[in-house]
Amino acid sequence: MAITALKYTVQEKALILGIESSCDETAASVLAREADGSFEVLSSIIASQDEEHAPFGGVVPEIAARAHMQKLDLIIERAISQADVDYAELSAIAATSGPGLIGGVIAGLMGAKGLSMSLDIPLIAVNHLEGHALSPKLAGECAFPYLLLLISGGHTQLLSVKGLGDYERIGSTVDDAAGEAFDKSAKVMGLGFPGGPRVERSAQAGNPQAIKLPRPFKGKDHANFSFAGLKTAVARAYEASDKSDQAKADLCASFQEAVCDVFKDRTQRAMKIFRADVGEGSQRFVVAGGVAANKKIRGALNQLCEDNNFTLLAPPLKYCTDNAAMIALAGAEHYARGNFDTLDVKARPRWPLDGNSAKHNPASGFGKKGPKS
């Protein structure tokens, strides 16, 4: 059978089904794109696997893959019915094809290929990170270019986003992602899984100045991050504490404060680099990814933006963590440009958003350690 995407033409108005399965959320969404480029999210269904992974204190890839296999059909069905559309009305299927846990990515991508074939509509392989990068557009107008801080369980990167497919990395983590530092810190303190929201909750009752923690790379003449040392410092501080609820709250608040400090310092450095490239004057700054759901971090970044003549834009909380609306949106943008994939497109465990610029900036590597490598 010839595997071709060339036979399809682009319709001005389109209905895109997005599928997300790269980590521990099985998600599907239907998005309607109008001829003028405006769009509406008609449905966004997310099935979390928190319960499945909680006993292990982290995402177990094999369990994740099985759960995606079991839930995907139902989640797609719900997205279609909540959007009140028919399968026959769909214009294209957009699915996360990496980076992520390979078993889960394969589950979603195979489902998408099956639908694309049976409905005879184009398949669009979406980079999960591009979904996060475009996610502020789900909240409203967000014109290119913008400086993006992408902070999730698998990634911590500062990118210059100049257009669809035009991403340049300014900095990234040299070891752990920020979300991983939250998750591991929560695990050490026995706060449960997923760690980020639990650390944020516990920190509300704590004193952010109580425990002295390192601020890795603060003041350095680049925009990279490091979280491994901070993570270890949290573990040591917890061991030395009386392990009471108050001790945990103080440690969570101090950890969150250290992360905020690091984000402010590194982002300010990146703002200078971004400005030197795109020009002076008011600019846009976007924070996206699961860790962007943290209110303290948003507040700190908002202050930084006010002080540096940047406007902060962020996706609504429900679109910070993994979801399929952002995948449908990225898919819709590619659909409008006729960027279709063939059925032999592969699932990719690693897929840097900025393939070329990462090569030019090897110091920041591919910025990827953690569950979604």
Span interacting with ligand KG4, options 49-57, 134-142, 270-278, 284-292, rule CB under 6 A: 284-292
Q: Is 185 in the site for Zn ion (CB under 5 A)?
A: no
Q: How far apart are CA 129 and CA 207, in angstroms?
A: 34
Pairing of strands 25-33, 14-20: antiparallel
Interface segment toward ligand KG4; rule CB under 6 A; list 191-199, 233-241, 276-284, 355-363:
191-199
Q: How far is the CB of 319 from ligand KG4 (least distance, A)?
A: 10
- Identify any residues that bridge with 44 across adjacent strands, giving them in sequence order: 29
Q: What are phi and psi of 43, to 5 degrees?
A: -160, 150
Beta carbons of 315 and 135 less than 8 angstroms apart:
yes
Q: Is 136 in the site for ligand KG4 (CB under 6 A)?
A: no
Q: Which helix (H) or strand (E) holds 179?
A: helix 178-188
Specify the residue for token string 């040591």: 236
152 binds ligand KG4 (CB under 6 A): yes
Q: Is 200 a residue that touches ligand KG4 (CB under 6 A)?
A: yes
Q: Is 322 in the site for ligand KG4 (CB under 6 A)?
A: yes
Give the residue among 63, 121, 70 at the shortest CA–CA distance from 95: 121
How many residues does the structure list for the chain? Answer: 373
* Paired strand residues for 337: none
CB distance 206 to 255 below 8 Å: no
Q: Which does 183 bind (CB under 5 to 8 A by kind): ligand KG4, Zn ion, none?
A: ligand KG4
User: Contacting Zn ion (CB under 5 A), which of 152, 157, 226, 256?
Assistant: 152
Q: Is 256 in the site for Zn ion (CB under 5 A)?
A: no
Strands of the sheet containing 146-151, edge to edge, are 166-172, 156-163, 146-151, 283-288, 310-313
Residue 108 engages ligand KG4 in binding (rule: CB under 6 A):
no
Q: Are 200 and 256 in contact (CB under 8 A)?
A: yes
Interface stretch with Zn ion, choices 77-85, 116-124, 192-200, 319-327 (CB under 5 A): 319-327
Please tell me what DSSP assigns to residue 368.
Answer: B
Scanning 109-117, 156-164, 204-212, 289-297 for contacts with ligand KG4 by CB under 6 A, the matching segment is: 289-297
Told to check if 247 binds ligand KG4 by CB under 6 A, we report no
Q: Which one among 111, 154, 216, 367 touches ligand KG4, defined by CB under 6 A?
A: 154
Running DSSP on this structure, what letter comes out for residue 237? H
Q: Exactly one of 175, 322, 333, 341 binds Zn ion (CB under 5 A); which one?
A: 322
153 touches ligand KG4 by CB under 6 A = yes
Work out whether 310 is an interface residue with ligand KG4 (CB under 6 A): no
User: What does DSSP say about strands 283-288 and 310-313: parallel, antiparallel, or unpaired?
Assistant: parallel
195 near ligand KG4 (CB under 6 A):
yes
Contact residue for ligand KG4 among 293, 314, 328, 332 (CB under 6 A): 293
Which structure tokens are listed for 234? Answer: 């949290």
Residue 81's contacts (CB-CB under 8 Å, 6 or more residues apart) are: none
For residue 55, with 0-12 CB atoms within 10 Å meaning exposed, 13-18 middle and 19 or more buried, which class applies?
A: exposed
Of 98 and 111, CB closest to ligand KG4: 98
Residue 54 or 117 with smaller CB distance to ligand KG4: 54
171 binds, among ligand KG4, Zn ion, none (CB under 5 to 8 A by kind): none
183 scored as a contact of ligand KG4 (CB under 6 A): yes
What, of ligand KG4, Zn ion, none, does residue 208 touch, CB below 5 to 8 Å by kind?
none
Which amino acid is located at 179 in the chain? G
CB of 177 to Zn ion, least distance (A): 10
Euclidean distance between CA atoms 139 and 326, whole angstroms: 11
Can you tell me the distance from the alpha carbon of 211 to that of 28, in angstroms, rounded to the nearest whole number?
A: 42
Binding at 98: pick from ligand KG4, Zn ion, none (beta carbon under 5-8 Å per type): none
Q: Give the nearer residue to Zn ion in terms of CB position, either 257 or 322.
A: 322
Binding residues (CB under 6 A) for ligand KG4: these are: 23, 152-154, 179, 182-183, 194-197, 200, 289-291, 293-294, 321-322, 372
**Residues lying near Zn ion in the complex (CB under 5 A):** 152, 322
